[in-house]
A and B are shown apart, each in its own frame.
Chain A
Amino acid sequence: MAKNISFTIKFWRQNGPKDKGHFDTHEMHDIPDDTSFLEMLDILNEELINEGKEPFVFDHDCREGICGMCSLYINGTPHGRTERGATTCQLYMRRFNDGDVITVEPWRSAAFPVIKDCMVDRYAFDKIIQAGGYTTIRTGQAQDANAILIPKEDADEAMDCATCIGCGACVAACKNGSAMLFVSSKVSQLALLPQGRVEAARRVKNMIAKMDELGFGNCTNTRACEAVCPKNESIANIARLNREMIKAKMAD
């Protein structure tokens, strides 16, 4: 059965990318602990609106842990948990204690400018995918699906890599603001499959060039990305990305 908890929430307010920003504080009372973190924020917003104030802005959508839209830095961790992958929307108040102080901040990375409060602009990720994170295929011209046989193990591993939801927690957790885990997940998915092999070298070079151009940092193997990834993406992907890059360079 659910029990009720009370706590203090400190949340980041920033009116646009150029604003300095500050924390606001609000006391929350008698919140059932089977409430999700975002539902708790809905209650906060309801209270703010009732006081005539503007609501606290944050990104969220599916609330099922799959769309990758929610992006809160909670008590110093992206999505607020590390022991097993989960997004902010799948964080429940039973993880907190009565009397806690809960701090909510946006993803902080040069490549993800703040739009308002905790909403940030992650379009840089789309630009990386646009630079080559696909197989070039025309609609209506594909051969029969079973004409491409793929070992089950490879398909399963590709699926694990493809599970990345592009939320940006990896960038937010990295001291260098590196997007390597994100990029390597997509490169690994396509590297494990026969489809699109012919453009593998172009793909990896273009994606890495775009990543550097957009201001993401480099990987120095601190593994913070892996620790916070809500979908348990492995840094083995980064090793594979590096191998793909070396292969591409050797082919030049």
Chain B
Amino acid sequence: MAKVLDSKIPAGPVPEKWKEYKAHQRLVNPKNKLKLDVIVVGTGLAGASAAASLGEMGFNVINLCIQDSPRRAHSIAAQGGINAAKCYQNDGDSVYRLFYDTVKGGDYRAREANVYRLAEVSNNIIDQCVAQGVPFAREYGGMLANRSFGGAQVSRTFYAKGQTGQQLLLGAYSSLSAQVQAKKVKLYTRYEMEDVVIVDGRARGIIAKNLVTGKLERFSANAVVIATGGYGNTYFLSTNAMGCNCTAAVQCYRKGAVFANPSYVQIHPTCIPVHGDKQSKLTLMSESLRNDGRIWVPKNIEDAKKLQKGEIQAWDIPEENRDYYLERRYPAFGNLVPRDVASRAAKERCDKGFGVNNTGLAVFLDFSESINRLGLDAMKQRYGNLFDMYEEITDVYPGDFGKEINGVKYYKPMMIFPAVHYTMGGIWVDYELQTTIPGLFAIGECNFSDHGANRLGASALMQGLADGYFVLPYTIQNYLADQTIWGKVSTDLPEFAEAEKKVDAEMDRLLNIKGKRSVDSIHKELGHIMWEYVGMGRTAEGLKTGLKKMHELEQEFDKNLFVPGTKEGLNIELDKAIHLRDFFTMGQLVAFDALSRNESCGGHFREEYQTEEGEAKRDDENYFYVGCWEYKGKGNEPELIKEPLEYEAIKVQTRNYKN
């Protein structure tokens, strides 16, 4: 029988739920905190902020970091900013409006109570980070500066040049470092979680691999927190860092944690286009560029063809022959429409043949109008490092003078195309961020809860830090309150031995296949299948084909993989092989979910379900639920469990960014 999911949403009006929860949750007294251990896996915004906060509260924290330092976590690459409902700009922002925009942006597929809480604590995050010394941009009066981001008509995004993620992560990392110094957090770098250990139905520890020695180690605790990010690298090419993987999450899924909304994969509209088959990853250009950049393709197909052949350049095309298609289709939001809308619109133009580079898979992001109005220096002030980065990669400096036509100066634009960026789906959690396994929590991108079917820009950082600083430290106490009675468990328990043995046997299996193909060659092939059949536009037929191809490729992986070296010592290929094994599970899960959801919403676009104008067509009557999946063994279709969604504070509407 399928599990019944209890979301544990507190009673009462939506704006009061979190206050009520905090007033009544159980607490752990200071002496008892000293007796309780918590494992936090991951050191990104969510993991580092959680580990720092829990350590500071008095718990003993074991914190695992896959890289050599917590400062390398991929949160560091976030560029544009972090949202908060401060209304410092006096532009009508409020907690309710941030909540509303986030729910609407997520295509009404997020859990209302969680999103409201997120908006509510957003203001504390800014205060916390400023107190840490995060150098957010300031105005001349000394107050914090803000900018606008996609999906919102107010300026609520706080930023530190184009390196906001970096500065927020370094803030969390410094708080974490203080706790390491205070010996409240024990940090294990170059360690990776390989399995979660369940004792008497509760998560009581993990098996981790020391990536340098290759040895497996056992850690026990009173609770386990997974903060290991998303599964975007299933697609091979994505904006994620090379090390990003979903092994910890998939292992939890295999152990019985239900996985929610896997088909919600965000395709970010402003990435540097793919240029060759040797490419290892895609680079994002911050969405904040859309504040001053205008997106366009030629109006005339002949011009597009000439651009594709390299016969003319962007700056040869005069104003009247440019199609600023986002401004044309969505007058109210223009270039600031949410990411899913902007991505699909770019795909639509390129599918019709209007792409602007040699592959036909690119559109222009043009700063000419802003440079003419504000000057290049102002642009450099706002986006300097992004312009430099673009030049480094493509050899073109956006903002270099191109040509003057009819008295208008045109500058060299960027070329951009959508790419896999963020995964809204993740391990299912209740209001307390607890998974279906008691004692196992999931935070940040790793869980599913706050973004629905699409994430608005500058909201990932917000969720990571909200979960780590302001939500989990409260909710985990509600669980830990009675854990002093349960006491500590020994890592000598048979459950630990068994889990370790299984991980060890799995490494032997991968090493002993001794086939002919490298991990990367198979991973690239999986990525092609994902992009082709489970990518920006999906059909029932395509998804079935994709599933079949994935299944065949997984068999190829099991039969023909080659991993050099041994399991002793550092073996980067073996670690990648383990990740790839789990990307297969994840890829199929994304496809199953996409196939079951006969509607389009947010990052999930089924081509069969669209309006006449090509907009996503939701089906609230039949699919107004969180799609949760329970593992049923390798090769078997997982079982779908539904968590119905309820909205009290918001009226569910069709998303509209036109007026």
Contact = CB atoms under 8 A, between A and B. Distances in A.
13 contacts: A34-B276, A39-B278, A57-B572, A64-B283, A67-B67, A126-B189, A139-B56, A139-B175, A145-B86, A145-B130, A145-B144, A149-B142, A166-B71
Contact of B127 (A2, A90, A143): A143
Of A31, A46, A49, A137, which is in contact with the most chain B CB atoms at under 10 Å from its CB?
A: A137
B478 interface: no
A135 B174 contact: yes
Interface stretch (A155-163, A213-221, A242-250): A155-163
A63 B241 contact: yes
Contacts of B310: 1
A158 B161 CA distance: 12
A145 to B, nearest CB: 4
B174 A129 contact: yes
B177 A129 contact: yes
A220 to B, nearest CB: 27
A49 B565 CA distance: 10
B280 interface: yes
A142 B573 CA distance: 45
A20 interface: no
Interface string A47-81: 00110111101011111111111000000000000
A101 interface: no
B130 A195 contact: yes
Given A68-B71, A151-B138, A166-B69, A159 B160 contact: yes
B143 interface: yes
Interface of B: 49, 52-53, 56, 67-74, 76-77, 86, 88, 124, 126-144, 160-161, 163, 166-167, 170, 173-175, 177-178, 180-181, 187, 189, 212, 241-243, 275-276, 278-281, 283-284, 310, 388-389, 392-395, 469-470, 473, 518, 520-521, 562, 564-565, 569-570, 572-573
B122 to A, nearest CB: 12
A117 B653 CA distance: 57
Nearest to B576: A55
A96 B395 CA distance: 14
A148 interface: yes
Contacts of B71: 67-68, 126, 165-166
Interface residues of A: mostly helix, strand, loop or mixed? loop
Interface in A71-111: 84, 86, 90, 92, 94
Nearest to A138: B56
Of A61, A130, A196, which is in contact with the most chain B CB atoms at under 10 Å from its CB?
A: A61
Given A32-B278, A38-B280, A61-B243, A67 B74 contact: yes
B68 A122 contact: yes
Contacts of A193: 133, 135
A195 B131 CA distance: 6
B434 to A, nearest CB: 20
A236 interface: no
Nearest to A42: B280
A66 B56 contact: no
In the A-B complex, the 5 residue pairs with the smallest Cβ-Cβ separation, listed nearest first, are: A149-B142, A134-B174, A142-B131, A142-B127, A145-B130
B578 to A, nearest CB: 16
Given A66-B77, A131-B181, A39 B132 contact: no
B272 to A, nearest CB: 10
B68 to A, nearest CB: 6
B42 to A, nearest CB: 14
A143 B124 CA distance: 9
A152 B124 contact: no
Given A49-B518, A139-B56, A193-B133, A69 B68 contact: yes
A42 to B, nearest CB: 6
A176 interface: no
Nearest to A144: B127
B142 A150 contact: yes
Contacts of A31: 278
Of A1, A2, A69, A86, which is in contact with the most chain B CB atoms at under 10 Å from its CB?
A: A69
Given A63-B283, A142-B131, A92 B393 contact: yes
Given A63-B241, A67-B76, A145-B144, A55 B572 contact: yes
Nearest to A115: B212
A125 interface: yes
A237 interface: no
Contacts of B178: 130, 134, 136
Nearest to A52: B564
Contacts of B242: 60-63
Given A137-B128, A155-B135, 4 more contacts: A34-B276, A61-B74, A123-B189, A140-B124
